[in-house]
Amino acid sequence: MWHHFTERARRAVYYAQEFASRNSLSLVTVEGLCLGLLSVDGSRCLAALQRMDIPLEDLRAEIEAASISEPENRPERPTLTASAKRAVELGVREAKRSGRREVGTEHLLLGVVVEGGSASRILAKWGANLEAMRNAISEVYLLAEDDGGAEEESSILQRCVGSDELGLRRTSLLSMADLNGDQIIGILDCADELRIRRSAGGPLDWNGRKSLVMIFEKPSLRTRVTFELGMKELGGNTIILGPAEIGLGVRESVADVARNLDRWVSAIMARVRSHETLVELHQHSSVPIINALSDCEHPCQTLADLQALRQRKGRLAGLALAWIGDGNNVLHSLMLGAAQVGIRLRYACPPGYGPDVSILERARALAADTEAEIEAMDPLEAAEGADAIYTDVWASMGQEDEREERRRAFSEYQVNARMMDRAAPDAVFMHCLPAHRGDEVTDEVLDGANSIVLEQAENRLHAQKAVLALTLGP
């Protein structure tokens, strides 16, 4: 395995073993591995920490204090503990996700952070959490490119777009079930790169060669702004068609609209009332169809949600996510996505307002392969110890006449401070917006320090840009 590691990464492991030997330790702990990484001069690991203004000697002293254990017989060559091995494996995974052919010190440090032990907690105390570390490492890469010192390998986005490594070229996204777990993670990795690189200019520029038509049967704020801006930042063109311009199925059949647009544009994004409209567009068009919301699913929202959750928590697999409220289109996509990335999703819906049975069965079938869980619970039970609590409006667009009836049915399903207190101490609150304050969520929770609703909204831009780039190609 070690031949895939850079010379500095191998040196870091050697230094970690030397530290263990000097202290008569038979095992290299995660803390020892971290000390080895801090001992390698000129590494990207140190460059990233320095960009975060972390005092390296103080950090080293605190981690060293946490690493000394009871002396043992001095070993010839200390071996890695199970936790340290896991940190190395997570570092290898980070290298793959970033599109690098070799595992560097920066990837091993990310592995230490993701591993979640005492070294990770010490790093987090100094501000080196997973999101901050990934951002700092990306800045180090960009600075190296500006100085002419970039490595030969391309970024993960360029590699995935150029080679279609994820197998998404010219494919439609009607449902989260159209993606597998590797594709979901790949999209999130590309979305993270687009987010980080946005201020420095994107790695792609279509220069007007790609076009997206945007069909709206329902009002939109986040969807319209993020798709239109995303295409512009990728160098593409957008055409917006509302009900007055197109009249799907009224002025002209869905099939005829699809056949015409197929001759002009690179892809079709549609925000529609009926999911069957998307299916019919797909059946009569050779260009990709992207579901920007239907009565059945909202996959673009789920991708943004998973990106925000991973940014805040550093991982997806094993997280406990509680859904409180209506068994609607957002929950459908969230269940399918959670099942494929290993999230334990607990949903609490009033009787008669649960998710579609066929989608629930599909999600549970997918979960069987990832150790995810999709379970029905009552609201407070679902919230107990959860890493995140997610809710949505009680009455969606088109259900306005049911508002009062639903308000009565959902009265015990409000996410408030009492419910958040049942969750884990660092639990986050999630909502796809717009929110009806005082109904499904209180102001205190929606505007609170643990709310990541605006991060979810921001990530609609990055996740959708990644979908467009990977779908439409270079």
Strand partners, 322: 346, 389
Distances (CA, A) of 284 to 241, 258, 263, 268, 467: 18, 6, 11, 12, 21
Catalytic site residues?
Answer: 271, 298, 301, 392, 432, 460
Alpha carbons 470 and 474: distance in angstroms, whole number: 8
- Check the CA dihedral 187-193-196-200 and report its sign: negative
Alpha carbons 357 and 338: distance in angstroms, whole number: 17
Pick from 179, 452, 186: nearest CA to 336: 179
First to last CA, the chain: 33
